[in-house]
């Protein structure tokens, strides 16, 4: 493939990865808000700890999302 097409597909993959990442971050935030309504402090603490750990790993997942979408975009382009 030519260089312009490669760059366009790479930009599309990044756009899809960022959009998917933002949607996932919004879901994590919504779960965090809903967990705040739980009356048990111990349960709420464990849920918050799990959400923070998941959020950290999710923050690192942006590169993997890009690779996933890049494969998908290339497969659809060919």
What pLDDT digit, counting tens, does each position of 4-13 carry? Answer: 888 888 899 9
pLDDT level of residue 58 (50, 70, 90 thresholds): confident
Instruction: Give the C-alpha distances (Å, rounded to integers) separating 51 from 1, 5, 9, 70.
Output: 42, 39, 33, 28
- Which tokens belong to 71? 């494969």
Question: Which pLDDT score is estimated for 1?
Answer: 59
DSSP state, residue 40 = -
């Amino acid at each position: 493939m030519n260089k312009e097409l490669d760059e366009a597909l790479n930009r599309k993959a990044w756009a899809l990865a960022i959009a998917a990442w933002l949607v996932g971050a919004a879901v994590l935030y919504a779960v965090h808000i809903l967990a705040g309504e739980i009356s048990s402090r111990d349960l709420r603490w464990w849920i918050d700890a799990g959400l923070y750990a998941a959020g950290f790993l999710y923050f690192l997942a942006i590169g993997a999302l890009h690779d996933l979408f890049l494969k998908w975009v290339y497969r659809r382009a060919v």
